[in-house]
Amino acid sequence: MVAVGWGGLVASIGLMVAGDRDLSVRLVTVAAAFVLGGFLAGVRATVARPLHGIVAGVAGHAIYVVFVGLASAIAVVADPEPPELLPGGAARTGAVALWALAFAVLGGLLAGSWLRPAGGGSARRGSRS
């Protein structure tokens, strides 16, 4: 759970930063944040690293929804304008969400390939060079 929490937190920061910016900037920002979040979740996991990446991506979206809810509650008392829950509309936000989850899986896959044990058999036999 810790792996998913940290990865999701990083991913949600990308969503918060991207907000309702231009679509190209939003896609690049979200891709970077979610690949990093998926990678961090995968590095902390011992098995199923791509799965940890996607769960971190889902957690990132959940954290974003909680953030928007809290900001909306604060806006009732104070005067700041809360962020939009679906910046750019439902269709655009859905497309960005799928894009983000794909990059979260990519981050988990990168962690898995980076942490894969060496393939040589000489280490197991105890040979020394």
Q: What is the pLDDT along the chain (129 residues), one digit of tens a residue?
A: 787 888 999 999 999 999 888 999 999 999 999 999 999 988 887 788 888 889 999 999 999 999 999 999 999 988 778 888 899 899 999 999 999 999 999 999 998 888 776 565 444 445 454
Q: Alpha helix (H) ranges present in the chain?
A: 2-18, 23-44, 49-77, 90-114, 122-125
Taking the C-alpha atoms of residue 20 and residue 26, their distance in angstroms, rounded to an integer, is 7
Q: Answer for the pair 94, 30: CB distance below 8 angstroms, yes or no.
A: no
pLDDT at residue 119, rounded to an integer: 60
Q: Which DSSP letter does residue 78 get?
A: S
pLDDT at residue 125, rounded to an integer: 47
